Amino acid sequence: MNLLQDARFGFRMLLKSPAFTSVIILVLALGIGANTTVFTLVNAVLFKGLPFVHPEEIMALGSSNLTKGRERMGVSYPDYRDWRAQSRSFKDLEAFETVSLNVSDNSALAERLRGARVSANTFVLIGQKPILGRDFLPAEDRPGAPAVCIIGYGIWKARYGGDPSIIGRTVRLNEVPAVIVGVMPEGMKFPLGQDLWLPLVPTGNYEKRDWRGLNVFGRLLHGVTMASARADLDTIAIRLDKEYPKSNQGLRATVKPYNDEFNGGQIRVVFLALLGAVAFVLLIACANVANLLLSRSLSRSREVSIRTALGASRWRLVRQLLMESVLLGLIGGLVGLALSFWGVRMFDLAVADVGKPYWIKFTMDYTVFAYFAAVSLATGLLFGLAPAFHASKVDINEALKEGGRGTSGGSRMKFLSGALVVVELALAVVLLSGAGLMIRSFLKMYTMDLGVRKDNLLVMRYNLADAKYPTPEAQLRFHERLLADIQATPGVESVAMASNLPMQGSYGWKYEIEGEAPQEPDKRKSASGIVITPQYFRTCGVQVLRGRAFSSSDGLPGNDVAIVNERFAREHWQHGDAIGKRMRLFKEDGKQSQAPQPEWLRVVGIVPQLRQNDPTRIETDALIYVPLRQEALRFVGVIAHTNVPPSSLAAAFKKVVQKIDENQPVFGVQTLEEMLVEQRWPFRVFGSLFAIFAIIALVLASVGIYAVMA
């Protein structure tokens, strides 16, 4: 009953000073709203996990070889099979490989979908069932089984209009006919946003123990810890090391929560940094409000003195003053909650199409509301505690004298107020400094020079199916015809192809330089590699520094050549004089590169440093370029320089491809600038967030100091 009386009295006191109350509520709303917003994001990314039953039991498994400095590797199918048969820590182990699939039939135009090859019991392990048709049968992931597939809900609706008779229909996947046997429920896109699933049939590379292209996951048995599961798999890995030393030497198992596998590393660091930043904002808000309440305690000193004289205990006074603070915290929290709904919505829109894991939903749940309630209550106690104890500790005669003189406050209040100002300034400086460094790093990465022109460039990508284009000759014929037809399109100045577009990664090639001592396969040096057509540098606006660009005859028998960038030339030849020098390329497994070429390539040109890989690295990679004729390619990027707005040619480019092959889909048809904006979204979004929180902190500190000084 006393608490209810305190609450009623507290409301009356807050209403007596509406302007003062409104300022405090606004300050608290900013601090609590920012915290609730960021915790909602952190909860969705780091804590929620998969939307399945007992997601904490689902582990991601992999391989590592620390002796070779490889902490994260995939798993071979034979290793997976041995792990599954011998492990005693998991209810089951399943495997998948993500693939790109060209889908074509008579229902609509051909399109490219994100697919996965999965072992037969994958959906059973995660507790998902088709809403139409059936799951994969155990016999369907064995060699020689009829080709079948399961499609996602979104494709069923968008491509087939939700037709319930879709089961049993045949569709071509990379030009291979497959029968649709099931439709998964809405929102089911396991493992990483897939639209379609195929059985994982162990043929070809799958049966090679040194081919580690699989992702393995499993569900822990009840009561089994992650550490014991890792020890169990390591015991098996040690046995395989002894049995297969050529392929498994030094290999060990890795086990981590599935969500951590795909949302760990830098993502975890950035979100935790955001949480730390908004914690500083809230502390600044608390110091701000505490100082305001200390200032206000001057006007209430006579009230407190009279209540003390009438017999109120100090605890009674503290409780009353804390009740007012808690009410302010709760009201400010409710306003902040409204702001956080808006903030979460804005963040969700900003990252809607950036390829985040499908299970991440930026919504508020019971965990978020519990956090919000705890923060609101703790905030009210935190900023109200010092003013309450200060205001309740009064000397009646002295307080009346101070009140009578209209002084600016007692010595205790001056000291405490000054201390809060110092704390507020210190927190603001720390937050502003940290945010400034983060923002500067983000801006540097966002605005860094790629080395290529960005204006009037249109890009497009496609992936040729093995079944229809099985040989390098067939693939080359398609590429060359497409190049010729696009070049003939009105508005196109020049066009080129590349295995990887700017900032889209590269191959990893091992190499040897003529004249250097030969190395064992696992000790050979590595460099980044790009396969291009002759007009690539001209199209990208890059001037060859020395030598020449590729010609149409490069790559023909007896004319095997390469171009290197400045860094590669400086690292291997005196004064960077690489023209006429020779090298040879090898694949990662130590065999010679796939290109139909003799061992040695002659360097014919040197080009500037073009940024191709990780944008967070300061230095650009050493790069080797080889002509398209020397390397078989199925996955190709097209880049065209236009003399008209490039986006106006997107439809024309698609028609050119369909004219050559109506079942060949293309994707990523956009300007280079649009592609870079999509790729750089983390710098834009997180840089903006840190800037917003820094500005809020600066405003709060400035307002708080001004209010106290005034």
Q: Do 40 and 337 meet the contact criterion of CB atoms below 8 Å apart?
A: no
Domain end (from 195, 214, 233)? 214
Contact partners, residue 333, CB within 8 Å, separation at least 6: 28, 29, 32, 372, 373, 375, 376, 379
pLDDT at residue 397 in the model: 55
Residue 596 has pLDDT above 50, yes or no: no
Quote the tokens at residue 343.
Answer: 């903030």
Higher-confidence residue of 325 and 69: namely 325
**Amino acid, single-letter form, for residue 646:** P
Range of the domain at 191: 96-214
**Amino acid, single-letter form, for residue 192:** L
Contact partners, residue 213, CB within 8 Å, separation at least 6: 74, 76, 97, 205
Q: Which of 558, 548, 648 is nearest to 601 (CA)?
A: 558
Q: How confident is residue 657, by pLDDT bands cut at 50, 70 and 90?
A: very high
536-551 pLDDT per residue, tens: 999 999 999 999 999 9
Region of residue 491 (phi > 0: left; psi between -120 and 50: alpha; otherwise: beta) = left
Q: How confident is residue 180, by pLDDT bands cut at 50, 70 and 90?
A: very high
- Structural domains counted in the chain: 2
Length of the chain: 710
Q: How confident is residue 19, by pLDDT bands cut at 50, 70 and 90?
A: confident
pLDDT at residue 20 in the model: 77
Residue 110 has pLDDT above 60, yes or no: yes
Averaged pLDDT for residues 85-93: 93
pLDDT at residue 595 in the model: 42
Contact partners, residue 214, CB within 8 Å, separation at least 6: 74, 75, 76, 77, 80, 95, 96, 97, 200, 206
Gap between the Cα atoms of 184 and 136, Å rounded: 12
- 299 in a structural domain: no
- 602 in a structural domain: yes
Higher-confidence residue of 10 and 130: namely 130
Radius of gyration over every alpha carbon of the chain, rounded to an integer in angstroms: 33
pLDDT at residue 405 in the model: 44
Gap between the Cα atoms of 563 and 164, Å rounded: 55
Query: Which DSSP symbol is given to 523?
Result: G
Gap between the Cα atoms of 535 and 108, Å rounded: 34
pLDDT at residue 612 in the model: 82
Gap between the Cα atoms of 302 and 590, Å rounded: 87
Gap between the Cα atoms of 653 and 159, Å rounded: 22
Gap between the Cα atoms of 46 and 39, Å rounded: 10
Quote the tokens at residue 158.
Answer: 């968008």
Residue 704 has pLDDT above 80, yes or no: no
- 475 in a structural domain: yes
Averaged pLDDT for residues 396-411: 50
Domain end (from 155, 189, 214)? 214
351-375 pLDDT per residue, tens: 777 667 778 888 888 889 999 888 8
Gap between the Cα atoms of 638 and 661, Å rounded: 16
Q: How confident is residue 10, by pLDDT bands cut at 50, 70 and 90?
A: low
Relative to beta strand 457-463, strand 666-671 is: antiparallel
Judged by DSSP in three states, 269 sits in helix
Residue 392 has pLDDT above 80, yes or no: no
Average per-residue pLDDT for the chain: 83
Give me the torsion for CA of 654, 657, 663, 665, rounded to 10°. -50
Count of CB atoms situated within 10 Å of the CB of 142: 13
Judged by DSSP in three states, 170 sits in strand
pLDDT at residue 593 in the model: 46
**Which has the minimum average pLDDT: 180-189, 381-390, 571-580?**
381-390
Higher-confidence residue of 380 and 673: namely 673
Higher-confidence residue of 237 and 412: namely 237
Quote the tokens at residue 640.
Answer: 């065209």
Gap between the Cα atoms of 335 and 556, Å rounded: 71
Residue 239 has pLDDT above 90, yes or no: yes
- 374 in a structural domain: no
Residue 408 has pLDDT above 60, yes or no: no
- Buried b / exposed e across 483-519, counting CB within 10 Å, b at 16+? bebbeeeeebebbbbbbbbbbbebbebbbbbeeeeee
DSSP letters spanning 471-516? SHHHHHHHHHHHHHHHHTSTTEEEEEEESS-TTS--EEEEEEETTS
pLDDT at residue 523 in the model: 75
Higher-confidence residue of 434 and 75: namely 75
445-473 pLDDT per residue, tens: 666 777 888 889 999 999 998 889 999 89
Q: How confident is residue 586, by pLDDT bands cut at 50, 70 and 90?
A: confident
Q: How confident is residue 382, by pLDDT bands cut at 50, 70 and 90?
A: confident
Region of residue 36 (phi > 0: left; psi between -120 and 50: alpha; otherwise: beta) = alpha
**Which has the minimum average pLDDT: 25-29, 101-105, 254-258?**
25-29
Q: Do 608 and 451 meet the contact criterion of CB atoms below 8 Å apart?
A: yes
**Amino acid, single-letter form, for residue 313:** S
Q: Which of 693, 30, 23 is nearest to 338 (CA)?
A: 30
pLDDT at residue 218 in the model: 93
Domain end (from 170, 186, 214)? 214
- 399 in a structural domain: no
218-235 pLDDT per residue, tens: 999 988 999 999 999 999
Share of the chain above pLDDT 90, in %: 37
Residue written as tokens 């293309």? 666
Residue 594 has pLDDT above 50, yes or no: no
On the question of a cis peptide bond just before residue 191, with omega within 30 degrees of 0, the verdict is yes
pLDDT at residue 346 in the model: 86
- 105 in a structural domain: yes
- 695 in a structural domain: no
527-581 pLDDT per residue, tens: 889 999 999 999 999 999 999 999 988 888 888 899 999 999 988 888 778 899 9
Higher-confidence residue of 645 and 50: namely 645
- 617 in a structural domain: yes
Q: How confident is residue 660, by pLDDT bands cut at 50, 70 and 90?
A: very high
Averaged pLDDT for residues 604-627: 82
